[in-house]
Amino acid sequence: MRRRHVRIGLLALTAMAGSVLMASAPAGADPTHSTASAGSKRSHLEDREAVSLVRIKLTGADMLDKVVAAGFDLEHGVKRVPTGIEAEAVLTAEQRAELQSMGVKILGSDEAFAWNEQADGGIRTAGKQAVQPLSHEQTVRVVRADWFTTKGQGFLYVEARTTEGQQADPVVQMQLENDSGTGTSFGFARTMSRFVDSGQYMFHRNLFKLDERPSQIRVTSSTGGVTTGKVSDWLENAPPPLTDDPGYKSNFIDGYKTPQQLYGRAEEIARQYPDIAQIIYLPNQTNGYQRKAQATIGGTGQSAVVVSSAAWGHEGGNDITVEFVDRPGADLPLSVEVTGKAIRVLLAKDASGALASTAAEVAAALETRSAGLIDRAHPYRTNAGTGIVAPSAPVALTDFLDQKRAGAPEGEVPRGPATIPVLRIGKHRDGTKPGVLIQAQDHAREWVPATTSLEAAERLVHNYKTDRETKRIVEDTDVFFILSNNPDGANYSFYNFASQRKNLTNHCPDESADPGRRDSWGVDLNRNYRVASGQDGYSGGSSVCTSGTYQGPEKLSEPEAKNIVWLVEKYRNIKFMMSVHSNGGQLFWQPGAYIADGRITTPRPPLGDEAFYWQSAGRILSQVKAYRETVVTPENVGGSSDVLYSSAGNVREDLYYTYGIYAFGWEVGGSVYNPATGNWQGGSFQPPWEGDPNLVSGHSETMEYANGIMEMFRVAADWGRDKKDPKSTLVPGGGKHRGPVDVHFETNEPATIYYTTDGSRPTLKSPRYEATDFREPGQVFHVTETTRFNWFSVDAAGNIERNYDPAKNDKRNNYRTATIKIDKK
């Protein structure tokens, strides 16, 4: 691969930000919605607005930003395709119309983008001159060229950049060719797809089927730039999974689990295996699976009154009735009578005997004169409540939580605030071993992350005594499982509204507080953190309380988010974190958010961290693949704002930038390649538990992604055992050169290099050796004058090369050094 050239003395670092996503078939629709039954005693206004999951097509990032800013719920199905962006949205009919009026296209079930796998003959304008490049030779770089196989089919994925990529008129085209193995010629020309995100050129890329593994690729730009690159393997030749070991126990989960089931099993594990497991109860209780009892009464529009009980529904609110009474007579004042839990609003009459109480007046009377039964009453939505209220027979208020959706699990859901248990597993739980936090189900409707995490916990405790590798994990790590971090929302998803994403806390002002909006309340727990938050101008969090990505009224407003901060501050040995979501088939890290204007991301991790993330991802995803050949493809791995979208205030940014925790995000599930059809089949939040082992199913996803979690534990154990210092070299090394020379650094393991070129002692404040550009290898120095490099490297575990101490000015000065002598004669 080409590296970026940087002229020493003129370190001109061009900033280029980036993003890429993969295309997949549409996810299955989520058939979960049922409307509440409106009894004769209730107005139609209590019916929740029917929603459905639809697949949509946006023209590009600008439209995506607008749609997200308008508060639409576009989560986990966002795919960048060459002609724009495809996404999934949970929409009411009204929202669907609003989106269409913004220019968004609603896709049919078979309209999703699929990569063109045919060679197309290439770019006409490039023609023959492409193979004889002139001044534009160095304008093109290969970012990555990855070969992978799944279920008997080979694929090649390529990313390439041109320095002219931002140019809009004309847009620079890129052509990709590949050989058919070592020594064969290039052919099969294809036009690459150009990707632009938030106004910034990212790179060009392609994914296509191939039967033979190529050895090299060649990329040519329409302006005459050309380069070649070596093809690397992606997740090929993975070591066998733990599950292959004879006697290894796995496959513990028999179906989706409610929070009660998850927590009950966690507590049972702690009782059964007290020598290696315990429960830590998180200090902040959730808001609870509970709601105020409500009704919308008195008419529609300006005449409607929205009433909410002071007590939670299950604590008496559901027993309240409200009646609007028309008395005979004229010149009667508005008054309120309360008998037990029965409230009678005696409507006013004017001089002619006509009803005369407005919705605003009735609401005010209910708030102040209902003997404390009603603590919130207001006009409907944005109405001022100027309409005259109509009489109504007694209406029973309800929290709607006793209305179970079809297919809900058996059993009662505990009401009231929940205490979230953390299942901690490790032989040495004293802070001396690297801690790994597995946090599942921030998003309520994501059921597979919870079963995946529980399966991993079961494997640890069941195999500890009998399997050598498991014993090493339990003895050398300290694992913290939060099997569901959103129990209230998860219960709502299981029992009431399957598409629930957020928690159940209602922060909405009056205009959105009527029960018709109840499925849209709540805070997106993965937007409620402090770093790169929506409040600080980052993209992907909403201030609209009904938005799918509502960030909350302030940073860390929610107990579920406060608990995570509490946990990592109390257990400072937590150095790894996996935030487990579904169903994108992605593994990512930082940067995870950007400011849209200029696409300014959170700081990219140093090269050593970036390399460590990639190395860990390769190990984790190889183990996922080992189960049934599911490949998480390379375009779905990297910084989450590059591979998915900007997520303001997500937990990973907070944990990495505040505490230095390696914080991964995982989208389990997602597309699987179906050899029978030759297509990728998309995932869903709640796929059938059992199913064709080759296709999407909750059971298969649980098993394969639990393999990946187990490998993450091994990554952490290896990290904890790593006491060896890294080794780095300057290539080529010191010595005499006739004329300018290109040099770069290499390391024997993921490590970050700090260097000087002015003869001074390198410290942690010295320039850091950077990537050529994001997703690319380290930069290249073009040395034109005699230059002395002084440097040292630091590995992912913090070991410093030659045990050099950059902080102390000790006499040894055993940093690395090399002098490039340029002989100009």
Whether residue 732 has a cis bond before it, omega within 30° of 0: yes
568 touches 661 (CB < 8 A): yes
Residue range at the interface with Zn ion (CB under 5 A); choices 212-220, 228-236, 574-582, 763-771: 574-582
Measured CA to CA in angstroms, residue 677 lies from 148, 151, 772 at distances of 19, 12, 40
Q: Between 73 and 776, whose beta carbon lies closer to Zn ion? A: 73
Least distance from C-beta 696 to Zn ion, angstroms?
17
Q: Between 90 and 743, whose beta carbon lies closer to Zn ion? A: 90
| Neighbour-count burial of 457, counting CB atoms closer than 10 A to its CB (0-12 exposed, 13-18 middle, 19+ buried) | buried
The contact pattern for Zn ion, residues 528-567, with x = CB under 5 A and - = no contact, is ----------------------------------------
Q: Between 446 and 476, whose beta carbon lies closer to Zn ion? A: 446
Q: Between 57 and 443, whose beta carbon lies closer to Zn ion? A: 443
Structure tokens at 14: 């061009």
Q: Between 76 and 341, whose beta carbon lies closer to Zn ion? A: 76
The contact pattern for Zn ion, residues 287-326, with x = CB under 5 A and - = no contact, is ----------------------------------------
Least distance from C-beta 737 to Zn ion, angstroms?
53
Least distance from C-beta 501 to Zn ion, angstroms?
7
Least distance from C-beta 609 to Zn ion, angstroms?
24
| Count, residues in the chain | 825
Least distance from C-beta 592 to Zn ion, angstroms?
13
Q: Between 527 and 581, whose beta carbon lies closer to Zn ion? A: 581
Residue range at the interface with Zn ion (CB under 5 A); choices 251-259, 398-406, 576-584, 779-787: 576-584
Q: Between 305 and 577, whose beta carbon lies closer to Zn ion? A: 577
Q: What's CA 137's distance to the chain center, in Å?
A: 38
Least distance from C-beta 581 to Zn ion, angstroms?
3
What does residue 757 show for φ and ψ, rounded to 5 degrees? Answer: -125, 10
Structure tokens at 164: 């002219």
Helix (H) or strand (E) holding 271: helix 259-272
Contact positions with Zn ion (CB under 5 A) in 130-169: none
Q: Between 608 and 669, whose beta carbon lies closer to Zn ion? A: 669
Structure tokens at 200: 């910034």
Q: Between 449 and 606, whose beta carbon lies closer to Zn ion? A: 449
Residue range at the interface with Zn ion (CB under 5 A); choices 42-50, 368-376, 573-581, 725-733: 573-581
Least distance from C-beta 580 to Zn ion, angstroms?
9
Helix (H) or strand (E) holding 611: helix 607-628
Distance CA 6, CA 781 (A): 5
Helix (H) or strand (E) holding 680: strand 679-681
Least distance from C-beta 197 to Zn ion, angstroms?
20
Least distance from C-beta 583 to Zn ion, angstroms?
9
Residue in 136, 292, 443, 530 binding Zn ion, rule: CB under 5 A: 443
505 touches 521 (CB < 8 A): yes
Q: Between 144 and 581, whose beta carbon lies closer to Zn ion? A: 581
Q: Between 176 and 709, whose beta carbon lies closer to Zn ion? A: 709
Least distance from C-beta 133 to Zn ion, angstroms?
45
Pairing relation of β-strands 342-346 and 321-325? parallel
Pairing relation of β-strands 200-210 and 84-92? unpaired
Q: Between 560 and 610, whose beta carbon lies closer to Zn ion? A: 560
Distance CA 226, CA 137 (A): 5
Q: Between 75 and 629, whose beta carbon lies closer to Zn ion? A: 75
175 touches 191 (CB < 8 A): yes
Distance CA 709, CA 540 (A): 27
Contact positions with Zn ion (CB under 5 A) in 664-703: none
Distance CA 470, CA 458 (A): 11
Q: How many CB atoms lie within 10 A of CB 40?
A: 6
Least distance from C-beta 76 to Zn ion, angstroms?
6
Task: Spell out the SS3 assignment of 338-400.
Answer: EECCEEEEECCECCCCCECCEHHHHHHHHHHHCCCCEEEEEECCCCCCCCECCCEEEEECECC
Query: Under the criterion CB under 5 A, does residue 502 sit at the interface with Zn ion?
Result: no
Least distance from C-beta 442 to Zn ion, angstroms?
6
Least distance from C-beta 104 to Zn ion, angstroms?
22
Q: Between 429 and 581, whose beta carbon lies closer to Zn ion? A: 581
| Neighbour-count burial of 215, counting CB atoms closer than 10 A to its CB (0-12 exposed, 13-18 middle, 19+ buried) | middle
Residue range at the interface with Zn ion (CB under 5 A); choices 262-270, 358-366, 443-451, 790-798: 443-451
Q: How many CB atoms lie within 10 A of CB 97?
A: 11
Dihedral sign (CA 522, 527, 531, 532):
negative
**Site size for Zn ion (CB under 5 A):** 2
156 touches 198 (CB < 8 A): no
Query: Under the criterion CB under 5 A, does residue 581 sit at the interface with Zn ion?
Result: yes
Residue range at the interface with Zn ion (CB under 5 A); choices 101-109, 282-290, 577-585, 743-751: 577-585
188 touches 168 (CB < 8 A): no
Q: Between 456 and 651, whose beta carbon lies closer to Zn ion? A: 651
Q: What share of the chain is helix, strand, coil (3-state, %, to 5)?
A: 25, 30, 50
Least distance from C-beta 433 to Zn ion, angstroms?
29
Least distance from C-beta 82 to Zn ion, angstroms?
26
Distance CA 651, CA 770 (A): 26
Least distance from C-beta 75 to Zn ion, angstroms?
6
- Bridge partners of 752, per DSSP, are 794
Q: Between 450 and 661, whose beta carbon lies closer to Zn ion? A: 450
Residue range at the interface with Zn ion (CB under 5 A); choices 97-105, 196-204, 440-448, 571-579: 440-448
Q: Between 486 and 793, whose beta carbon lies closer to Zn ion? A: 486
The one-character DSSP state at 301 is G
Dihedral sign (CA 104, 109, 113, 116):
negative
Helix (H) or strand (E) holding 589: strand 586-589
Least distance from C-beta 526 to Zn ion, angstroms?
6
Distance CA 33, CA 50 (A): 7
Q: Check residue 816 and give left, alpha or beta (phi > 0: left; psi -120 to 50: alpha).
A: beta
| Secondary structure of residue 267 in the 3-state scheme | helix
Distance CA 373, CA 394 (A): 15
Distance CA 381, CA 379 (A): 6
Residues that bind Zn ion (CB under 5 A): 443, 581
